[in-house]
Amino acid sequence: MTPRVFSAAIGKPVQYVKICSLYGAGFYYMPGTDTCIKIGGFVRAEVNFNAGGSFAPSFANRDLRTYNNNNWRSRAGITADARSQTAYGTLRAYVYLSATSDNSRGGGYAAPASGNPSNGTGADAYTRLYAPAGFIQWAGFTAGKTGSFFDFDGQPYSNQSNVWSSNNGGNGVDLWAYTAQLGNGLSASIAAENNNGHRLGIATAAGVAEALGGGQTMPDIVGNLRIDQAWGSAQIMAAAHQVNYGVVADPSDKTGWALGAGVKINLPMLGAKDYFITQFTYGKGAIDYVGSGLGQAQTTTQGGTVSYGPAWDSVVTGAGTADLTEGWSITGGLEHFWVPNLKTSLYGSYGKLEYSAAASAALQLAAAGTVAGSSANWSFWQIGSRTVWTPVTNLDLSVEVMYNSQQTAFTGPTIGDNSWWSGMFRAQRNFYP
């Protein structure tokens, strides 16, 4: 219903906001224009146990007295979605601005010089304002910052900032893309995406970081073929990624690649909104598509046992030589609605990175306590469950638990596998329709 006020002079209703019904709930016409806009957002408070903010898996030294086994995060976001009709279809501009504070000691402490509250370094809080998304869409084109066109399983069944899969946790990547609608729910997309947004970096022959490698000279080329119908959706996708080396003695740049497939199946026989979704990805020299939540080293210490998890696009093995890293991952989740305002999910993921013997030897030099000649191959798997209660409209209260297991790279007297439990409580008030 269009909001109205009454004029005291003539007693007639005066329309001060005109509802726009072209694009769904929440849109209204900007006064004096034919542009429709929707303003939305959220406020979130959460506490994570044995995990980083947004339930990011905590690869850390839990033997340190400075290890934070709980992480407190507050986040707020504002979105604006503006649309208007043109002769070539809808012209859309979308922006999402967010601010985050983690493990604050209160009193307006400034951001730390370095460190991360979840990794056991004892860092203070950090506060940051950033834009996870900002893009323009028109006549099939998308330009700006948004999710990669490689992505499929966005993991809606979990609050986790993932380790495996290509989904980057909503942080987005700069890109230019075109999507063609082929009819009957079938579409095809091609995109040029920021190469820096998909880099995991290069390790030198000494096994240490060479930053991100050389300068960017070409974008990632990403394509997908997708179908969306009443039963669900499915997608196949591919990406080509240039691996850039930054030192004179390094080899010429190489081309990495990734392939993926995903499917979502609606399950109305279990519940009106129930679904199952999964994605498989394989990559060589393009490991960010396999595990966008990976850092350059996932090292976990518990009870004196160290687990290593090196993650690089490539490893320099000698003067003028380098080997590309191979890896694969699979993610999936099932979500069931017990009643309209109560749902529970069960999900899991598994991923593995594999290195050549020469790359393993180079990486072993930077891994203390390891036996020479042991393999740098490692894997990590998770299984978890989340329950969300929505006691009133647009208020979500959730609890989530997850079991994590890391199968270490290398061998040695103090080297071994590590496993741990993590948990999260979150309250989120959404104020968009």
pLDDT of residue 412: 96
pLDDT of residue 248: 66
Report the percent of the chain where pLDDT is more than 70: 89
Per-residue pLDDT tens digits for 248-266: 677 889 999 999 999 999 9
| Integer Cα distance of 221 and 2 in angstroms | 46
pLDDT of residue 49: 95
Per-residue pLDDT tens digits for 82-119: 999 999 999 999 999 999 888 754 433 333 333 333 33
Are 233 and 227 spatial neighbours (Cβ–Cβ below 8 Å)? Answer: yes
Model pTM score: 0.90
Q: Does residue 147 surpass a pLDDT of 60?
A: yes
Per-residue pLDDT tens digits for 41-74: 999 999 999 998 899 988 999 999 989 899 999 9
245, 247, 273, 364, 368 from 202: Cα distances, Å = 7, 11, 43, 15, 19
The mean of the pLDDT values for the chain is 89
Per-residue pLDDT tens digits for 266-280: 999 999 999 999 999
- Strand boundaries in 268-310, DSSP class E: 275-284, 300-302, 305-307
* DSSP string covering 121-186: S----EEEEEEEEEEEEETTEEEEEE--TT-----TT-----SSBS--TT--EEEEEEEEEEETTE
pLDDT interval class at 14 (50, 70, 90): low
| Integer Cα distance of 422 and 309 in angstroms | 19
pLDDT of residue 116: 36
pLDDT of residue 212: 61
Question: Quick one: average pLDDT of 396-422?
Answer: 97
Name residue 250's amino acid: D
- Of the candidates 200, 215, 299, 292, the one whose C-alpha atom is nearest the C-alpha of residue 250 is 215
Q: Does residue 326 surpass a pLDDT of 80?
A: yes
By CB atoms closer than 10 A (0-12, 13-18, 19+), residue 25 is: exposed
| Integer Cα distance of 431 and 222 in angstroms | 34
Are 359 and 373 spatial neighbours (Cβ–Cβ below 8 Å)? Answer: no
Question: Quick one: average pLDDT of 282-286?
Answer: 98
pLDDT interval class at 407 (50, 70, 90): very high
Q: Does residue 351 surpass a pLDDT of 90?
A: yes
Question: Quick one: average pLDDT of 151-170?
Answer: 90
Domain spans, the chain: 1-34, 37-430
By CB atoms closer than 10 A (0-12, 13-18, 19+), residue 262 is: buried
Domain 37-430 homologous superfamily, CATH: Porin (2.40.160.10)
Phi first, then psi: what are they for 357, rounded to 5°?
-60, -40
* Those residues with Cβ within 8 angstroms of residue 146's Cβ, 6 or more apart along the chain or in another chain: 94, 133, 135, 172, 173, 175
Are 132 and 169 spatial neighbours (Cβ–Cβ below 8 Å)? Answer: no
Per-residue pLDDT tens digits for 211-248: 666 788 899 999 999 999 999 999 999 999 999 988 76
